[in-house]
Structure 1
Amino acid sequence: MSMSIWAPGRVNLIGEHTDYSGGLVLPIAIDRGIRLEVDRGPQIALVSNGDSIELAADGSGDAHGWGRYAAAVGRELALLGRPAVGIAGTLDSDVPQGAGLGSSGALEVVVALALCAAAEFEVDPLELALACQRAERRAVGVPSGILDQAASLLGREGHALLLDCGSLEYRWVELPEELAIVVIDSGERHSHEGSGYADRKRELESGHPHRVRHVRTENERVRALVGALERGDLEALGPIFAASHASLRDDYEVSTPRLDRVVDAALAAGAIGARMTGGGFGGSIVALAAREDARGVLQRTLEQAGVQGWIVRPAAGATRRRTDPSRNPA
């Protein structure tokens, strides 16, 4: 079994810090992600940028750094009944870590798909997303939601994924052709385990009025944005993005001055709308732009704020492709 497996990162258009409370999210899978070239092996042996891990085929063993995610995925799949079949492969990524683009979720998904393929153990995509979500919690102890893993597995080209994280019902929302999505990395790095992410969840569950208000109004904004996209009402998108960012800054308190500056720079550069995306405390912003002006918006923004950026395409979800040499007919 030789396979090439691809798992995309994600950008959340709206619905921030709502997934772990069973709310609504609207992410896209993007055309940046993690590729794993892999074969079966006696254990889990993976290499990434010269750093290697070796674990038992069921994920047990000592792991550190990014290896914690691979180990946790192996353990969660073992609990689902996956036979202990190992993999050996090389990871290659063009998703920057800590930029709020779902790099850990993509890593979990690509490893999970490889382990399932090696053991000929098939899992429904949503069940696999849930297993990867549990793996992230196991790996780093952060009470994250299902957004990243679901987006990576269920993405559809040209569409956003409207997911109810409570019922797990979902549908795709077609994005207007004339709309481009621009992502700008603030350069401010974060990790969920080292940020206030878990604190915000605890505050929400305890009934903190500002945290509760953010989640309630953010769910309303998800519905409003979906309605505007489906009507083709591009003028309505900017105010919805602005309200979302203000709520994340003031009510949920997960934005930073640097993220705020990048949002302001994108708007000054001509973006239709801009807001922080991801867990906050650093990372990236997402901006909407007219397709013909997207490169200009990106360039003008980076002249004022941010360290790098991309025009991203709403992409298909994770894929597996056999790369075994073709056999000559007998």
Structure 2
Amino acid sequence: MTTPIDTATAARTLLTEVAGAVDAPTWSAPGRVNLIGEHTDYNDGFVFPFAIEYRTHVALATRGDGMIRVASTFDETPVEVALSELDDLFPARRDEVTEWARYPLGVAWALLQAAGVDASTVTGVDLAFASDVPVGAGLSSSAAIEGATATALAETWGIDLDRVELAKVGRRAENDAVGAPTGIMDQMASMLGRADAATFLDCRSLDAQVIDLGFAAAGLELLVMDTGVKHSHATGGYGERRAACERAAAALGVPALRDVSTEDLERLESLVDEVTLRRARHVVTENQRVLDTVRTLREAGPAAIGDVLVASHVSMRDDFEISVPELDTAVDAALAAGAVGARMTGGGFGGAAIALVSSDSAEKVTDAVASAFSDAGFAAPNIFTVTPSPGAGRDA
């Protein structure tokens, strides 16, 4: 992987190639890891992600013709449209725009709409992107693009929106311009990140608290164990689980599973089928695990959260049934090698698991997981550490 400084330089170099701009300023935003709180976001529940050191950088130059041009190191063809055309493009004609470009162009569109600013009153821009956020590991490279674009354009255009509003801009871009029905967790984590801290987010109210993690002081690191198994949400697994959550909430007469306590689950048994009950049980208990994790961090420190992480994985494996053999192998091998705790992270059906480990055991755990994959006949995993890091902003 490249380092952040390499990526910032790559963005500037690309902007020079595309637009002739030299020494352009750059902004950046991070990817994220979700420490705990899976499939709780669309149930109006709680999540607990943190921003990571891997970032998307954007270099920006202004232009005087009312156009916006976006270019990236991962697609050789820049995309250029008039700012005045964005309202016509999104969402009705979004399919006319290549998918990656919908992210930054969608942010420009959503930002202008959120601020109530007419496109004719802002300067045209050239934007060049480079990223070191690992793609396919569930680390939200999309939110990193959105956050970098939103902070760069807001500053350039003099739009005064706070970080929560900019996160909403990113979510609208992803929902309406890209066409991905995601929640707001990723954007909030990318915007609100802070070193050695995570964002405790209420997905109903969008109230957010930055909670100290204390990993560094406790001599702990977080490993990401990317299985290389591609997510298969398109097969219907994600939609089926979301529908099951909605059925369970309707059976109990509440707006969302956020409003259901663990005590209510006994009553739910007589109202829904066994599969729906298990789906609901995961969400209800996972919400409680997020609250327990935040409380435990405050009262006992990060070394005490391991059991909650493991319980989360068991719930996703058995009740929500979104794990796969590679994820289970990663978690089991990490724990057997001495990890404090481990769980799959993200939407499931592939992707990555995480393991909280002592700094002096990181290599041992890494080797153990790699060996377990080899023994099982799986492709080698990509294993690396992530560090809780600052959120989006202008680079120094």
Normalization by structure 1: what TM-score? 0.90
**Equivalent runs, 1:71-110 vs 2, <5 Å:** 71-80=105-114, 81-84=116-119, 85-110=123-148
Q: Secondary structure at the match of 2:372?
A: coil
Does the aligned pair in 1 maintain the 2:136–2:228 contact within 8 Å? no
| One-letter identity of the residue aligned with 1:315 | S
What is the rounded CA distance, in whole Å, between the counterparts of 1:69 and 1:191 in structure 2? 22
Partner of 1:156: 194
Q: Secondary structure at the match of 1:45?
A: strand
What stretches of structure 1 move > 6 A for 4+ residues in a row? none
Partner of 1:255: 323
Q: Say yes or no: does 1:15 pair with 2:34.
A: no
- Shift in alpha-carbon separation, 1:118–1:233, aligned structure 2, 3 A: closer
| One-letter identity of the residue aligned with 1:79 | Q
Does the aligned pair in 2 maintain the 1:143–1:198 contact within 8 Å? no
1:199, CA displacement in angstroms? Answer: 3.3
Partner of 1:39: 61
Q: Secondary structure at the match of 1:37?
A: strand
What is the rounded CA distance, in whole Å, between the counterparts of 1:253 and 1:53 in structure 2? 40
Equivalent in 203, 217, 224 of residue 244 of structure 2: 203
What is the rounded CA distance, in whole Å, between the counterparts of 2:234 and 2:107 in structure 1? 18
Does the aligned pair in 1 maintain the 2:106–2:178 contact within 8 Å? no
**Equivalent runs, 1:181-200 vs 2, <5 Å:** 181-190=222-231, 196-200=237-241
1:287, CA displacement in angstroms? Answer: 0.8
Does the aligned pair in 2 maintain the 1:5–1:114 contact within 8 Å? yes
Q: Percent identity?
A: 43
1:28, CA displacement in angstroms? Answer: 0.8
Partner of 1:145: 183
Higher alpha-carbon deviation: 226-235 or 89-98: 226-235
What RMSD, in angstroms, separates the aligned Cα atoms of the two structures? 2.1
What is the rounded CA distance, in whole Å, between the counterparts of 2:154 and 2:111 in structure 1? 8
Normalization by structure 2: what TM-score? 0.76
1:193, CA displacement in angstroms? Answer: 5.7
What is the rounded CA distance, in whole Å, between the counterparts of 2:110 and 2:392 in structure 1? 19
Does the aligned pair in 2 maintain the 1:183–1:287 contact within 8 Å? yes
Equivalent in 272, 283, 287 of residue 219 of structure 1: 287
What is the rounded CA distance, in whole Å, between the counterparts of 2:149 and 2:371 in structure 1? 38
Does the aligned pair in 2 maintain the 1:70–1:111 contact within 8 Å? yes
What is the rounded CA distance, in whole Å, between the counterparts of 1:209 and 1:148 in structure 2? 28
What is the rounded CA distance, in whole Å, between the counterparts of 1:145 and 1:106 in structure 2? 15
1:169, CA displacement in angstroms? Answer: 1.4
1:279, CA displacement in angstroms? Answer: 1.4
Partner of 2:16: none
Structure with more strand by fraction = 1
- CA deviations over 1:99-125 (Å, ceiling 9, x no partner): 111111111111222222231112111
Structure with more helix by fraction = 2
- CA deviations over 1:21-49 (Å, ceiling 9, x no partner): 21111111000121111112342212222
- Shift in alpha-carbon separation, 1:92–1:319, aligned structure 2, 3 A: same
What is the rounded CA distance, in whole Å, between the counterparts of 1:193 and 1:88 in structure 2? 34
- Shift in alpha-carbon separation, 1:198–1:57, aligned structure 2, 3 A: farther
Q: Secondary structure at the match of 2:348?
A: coil
Partner of 2:349: 281
| One-letter identity of the residue aligned with 1:203 | A
Higher alpha-carbon deviation: 158-167 or 224-233: 224-233
What is the rounded CA distance, in whole Å, between the counterparts of 2:147 and 2:53 in structure 1? 15
**Equivalent runs, 1:55-134 vs 2, <5 Å:** 55-57=81-83, 59=86, 61=89, 62-80=96-114, 81-84=116-119, 85-134=123-172
| One-letter identity of the residue aligned with 2:333 | A
- Shift in alpha-carbon separation, 1:105–1:196, aligned structure 2, 3 A: farther
What is the rounded CA distance, in whole Å, between the counterparts of 1:25 and 1:40 in structure 2? 38
Q: Secondary structure at the match of 1:167?
A: coil
1:256, CA displacement in angstroms? Answer: 1.6
| One-letter identity of the residue aligned with 2:81 | L
Equivalent in 19, 23, 27 of residue 5 of structure 1: 27
What is the rounded CA distance, in whole Å, between the counterparts of 1:118 and 1:102 in structure 2? 25
- The alignment covers a number of residue pairs equal to 322
Does the aligned pair in 2 maintain the 1:142–1:193 contact within 8 Å? no
Does the aligned pair in 2 maintain the 1:43–1:54 contact within 8 Å? yes
Higher alpha-carbon deviation: 146-155 or 194-203: 194-203
- Shift in alpha-carbon separation, 1:244–1:252, aligned structure 2, 3 A: same
- Shift in alpha-carbon separation, 1:109–1:194, aligned structure 2, 3 A: farther
Unaligned runs of 5+ in 2: 1-20, 90-95, 249-275, 374-379
Does the aligned pair in 2 maintain the 1:142–1:198 contact within 8 Å? no
Q: Greater Rg, structure 1 or structure 2?
A: 2
